[in-house]
Structure 1
Amino acid sequence: MAKLETVFITGAASGIGLALAQALAARGATLYLTDVNGPGLEDAVAELTARQVNVHSCVLDVSDRAAFEAAVADAEAKMGGIDILFNNAGVSLSDTVDKMTYTDLEWVMNINFYGVVYGTKAALKGMLARGHGHIVNISSLFGIIGIPSQSAYCAAKHAVKGFNESLFYELQGTGVQIHSVHPGGVDTNIVRSGKHLHNIQGDVDPEEVQKNFQDMAVTTPEAAAQTILAGVDKGTYRILVGPDAKSADRLQRWMPNIWRKLFQKKLEAWNRDGIF
């Protein structure tokens, strides 16, 4: 990446999105920040403005295609184009397939998958016309492996992974790069603001789910942001974030049968603790 960039970030009010904004602000980037959380977004903008960062913003529900297209058009008008797009916004759902409602499934897919598609398509036209740009789509470790009670989230993140890989080949020779990011456990608000209903043991306590998640979230948002930016700087397509993502990815690819046996034992231990 060049030292100075114009950057569009979704889910920028907290977590990885905010950490990316802070890190890029230190590089002198011009920022366009979005989030569905209006007050949180205002706080993020105020913090960055106090540091004399050139920042624009709008409240955005990424599942609203027309609103996303309008936000990208506004960003291009105000910043003269978008050099880097981070499709970071996401939600979580804990529920089993037999109990999960279609309403909740569609809620996750509309934000975690279609939100990525809408942002990518909205920004891609301008990037292709200018002959440069980076699209950074956040999948997950759960876009590589499956987890009980996480079928909707895993489905959406696997879909992002496949979308990214197809786009990788389509963009060869265009000057535009796609980056597929797969974080493991990162200590963000995604679980706190999600829906948590059932695991394979039955009903779940959302507060207990949040506590268990934080115990397993071994990577800070700031560390995640630095790993992502380092990967984008190097032109890396597939960016694994956190030691848990790296180890699980390698084991399930190199020794899939052993992985399933080991992971089943781990799941049994987690089940006893009521995690999944």
Structure 2
Amino acid sequence: MKDFRDKVAAVTGAGSGIGRALALQLAGEGARVAISDWDAAGLAETVTLLEERGATPHSTVLDVRDRAAVHAWADAIAAHFGSVNLIVNNAGITIFGTVEESPYEDIEKVLDVDFWGVVHGTKAFLPHLTASGDGHVVNISSIFGLFGVPTQSSYNAAKFAVRGFTEALRQEMLVDGRPVGVTCVHPGGIRTNIVNNATASNAADISGIARVFEERLTRTSPESAARTILRGVRHRRPKVLIGADAVAVDLVVRALGAAYQRPFAAVSRRLTASLKAPASLPPTSRKQVSA
């Protein structure tokens, strides 16, 4: 897929962040865009931004955990536009908590959105992408799909699973000679709402973590991330790292192997101690946003 003009592109989690930026850039490059999110208000804002740029998006409020709904969405897009060339499985959430304190329900919720949402989107769109003769699957993993992080076991599990699932899929497309490219994306710190919309299994106040993330760790804009992803699609890259932090972590983990865990744990310990988080957490929503 050398360019996106007149191609049909579907993006989940398009109500904000990377998903919104992708939708806008794809439309700006002449693609016909289908977007979804479970946040109706955020999705409506993206629709307005697209329409202001002259696009006519296909828009659906969607929970990617709902397998039947995702398949119906894919079929509806194909029926509406006549084909589908690109799916970006981008919707994601995170919930902070150690393995011990995380209830099964929180672990299941993160896996249902971040992993099963990717599986549903991939399987629902794959027949349409194959039929198009020029298809591409983009699955958003994370920098946390490269290394483990304390209090992010569920998110780590989901994002590592996305990585393995996507790498296996790419090989299957190569073995079968299918006209479908496959890319796994590992964003580092992106200025999105995923941490601000997160909660904690132990009811701890994570506002300090969100502040550190916002002030120190989010070096890349969603727009820059979207450009990097689309460049990866054009070049049919199997793996896309977004941000200097993702590149650095990838190099360190590959160089140190499992030995990375001790120094990373020490950094996490110092960060946790410095935050001195209060004991209570006001209710917040858990949105499906870009990972």
Show structure 1 runs of 4+ deviating over 4 A.
Answer: none
Partners of 2:218 and 2:53 in 1: how far apart?
Answer: 29
1:95 aligns with 2:97: yes
Is the 8 Å Cα contact of residues 197 and 206 (structure 1) preserved in structure 2? no
Asked if structure 2 preserves the Cα contact closer than 8 Å seen for 1:7 and 1:85, the reply is: yes
Query: Which of the residues 159, 166, 169 maps onto 1:167?
Result: 169
Q: CA deviation at 1:28?
A: 1.0
CA distance, structure 1, for counterparts of residue 139 and residue 77 of structure 2 = 18
What is residue 132 of structure 2 aligned with on the other side?
A: 130
Deviation at 1:254, TM superposition (A): 1.7
- Tell me the residue number matched to 2:281: none
1:55 to 53, 57, 64: 57
| Corresponding letter in the other structure for 1:20 | L
Once residues 150 and 11 of structure 1 are traced to their aligned partners in structure 2, the CA distance between those partners, rounded to angstroms, is 20
Contact 1:209 1:275 in 2 (8 A): no
Match of 1:67 among 66, 69, 76: 69
Q: For residue 115 of structure 1, what is the aligned residue in structure 2?
A: 117
- Pairing 1:178–2:182 present: yes
CA contact (8 A) 2:18 2:223 kept: yes
Match of 2:48 in 1: 46
Is the Cα–Cα contact under 8 Å of residues 135 and 177 in structure 1 kept in the other structure? Answer: yes
Does the aligned pair in 2 maintain the 1:12–1:35 contact within 8 Å? yes
Structure 1 residue 261 displacement after superposition: 4.1
Q: Paired residue for 2:284? A: none
1:246 pairs with 2:247 = yes
Q: Which amino acid aligns with 2:194?
A: I
Q: For 2:54 and 2:250, locate their aligned partners in 1 and report how far apart those are by CA, in whole Å.
A: 40
Q: Unpaired runs of 5+ in structure 1? A: none
Amino acid at match of 1:39: A
Kindly indicate whether the alpha-carbon contact (under 8 Å) linking 2:150 and 2:265 is maintained by their aligned counterparts in 1: no
SS in 2 for 1:181: strand
**Deviation per CA, 1:88-118, whole angstroms, max 9, x where unpaired?**
0000110011110111111101000000000
How far, CA to CA, are the matches of 2:263 and 2:104 in structure 1? 32
Partner of 1:271: 272
Match of 2:192 among 188, 193, 199: 188
- Give the match for residue 219 of structure 1: 220
Normalised TM-score (structure 1): 0.94
Counting aligned pairs with the same residue, the percent is 40
TM-aligned CA distance change 1:12 to 1:275, over 3 Å: farther
Q: 1:256 Cα deviation (Å)?
A: 2.3
For residues 229 and 274 of structure 2, what CA distance do their matches in structure 1 show? 32
- What CA distance in whole angstroms lies between the structure 2 residues aligned with 1:16 and 1:167? 23
CA distance in 2, matches of 1:127, 1:81: 8
**Deviates further, 261-270 or 26-35:** 261-270
Shift in CA distance, 244/212, structure 1 to aligned 2, threshold 3 Å: same
